[in-house]
Structure 1
Amino acid sequence: MIAKTLQDMFQRYRRPGDVVFAVLFLAFSVFLLSQLGEQTKVVKRTKWFAQPGLWPTVALWMMVIFSFLHWLSSVMSERISGRWAEVGFWARSFEYVAYFLIYVMLVPKLGYLPSTMLFAVFLTLRAGFRGASTIAIAAAFGFVVTIVFRAFLQVKIPAGAIYEHFPETIRAFALTYL
Structure 2
Amino acid sequence: MRTSAAPRPFRADPRARAFAADVPPDRKFKIEDLMAFKRGRGDLVFSALALMVALFFLMTFFTETGWDKRKLPGDGWTYWARQFGLIDGEGRLARLGRILKQGWVAPMICLAILVPAAVLNLRDSWRVHRWRVRFRQPTSLRYEGEMWLRALEFVGWFIAYTLLVPVLGYLVSTLLLGTLLPWRLDYRGPRWMGICLAASFTIVLVFRTGLQIRTPVNIWLYDQLPQQAAAFMKTWF
TM-score, normalised by the number of residues in structure 2 = 0.62
Q: What is the number of residues matched between the two proteins?
A: 165
Deviations 1:77-121 (A, max 9, x none): 413424321221122111111111111111111111000000000
Match of 1:24 in 2: 49
Which secondary structure state, in structure 2, belongs to the residue aligned with residue 139 of structure 1?
helix
Does residue 47 (structure 1) correspond to residue 84 (structure 2)? The answer is yes
Letter in 2 for 1:68: V
The structure that has the greater radius of gyration is 2
Q: Which has the higher helix share?
A: 1
| Matched-pair contact (CA < 8 Å) for 1:33–1:61 | no
In structure 2, relative to structure 1, the CA distance for the partners of 1:99 and 1:61 (3 Å cut) is: same
For 1:135-150, what aligned pairs fall within 5 Å after superposition? Answer: 135-150=193-208
Letter in 1 for 2:53: F
Match of 1:10 in 2: none
- Of structures 1 and 2, the one scoring higher in RCO (CA 8 A, sep 6+) is 1
Identity of aligned residues (%): 32
For 1:107-118, what aligned pairs fall within 5 Å after superposition? Answer: 107-118=165-176
In structure 2, relative to structure 1, the CA distance for the partners of 1:21 and 1:147 (3 Å cut) is: same
Match of 2:192 in 1: 134
Deviations 1:13-41 (A, max 9, x none): 85311112102212222333445456556
Q: CA RMSD in A?
A: 2.3
Q: Which runs of 5+ in 2 are unaligned?
A: 1-37, 68-78, 86-98
Q: Which runs of 5+ in 1 are unaligned?
A: 1-12
Q: Using the TM superposition, give the Cα deviation of residue 52 of structure 1 relative to its aligned residue in structure 2, in angstroms.
A: 3.4
Which secondary structure state, in structure 2, belongs to the residue aligned with residue 107 of structure 1?
helix
Counterpart Cα distance in 1 of 2:58 and 2:172: 42
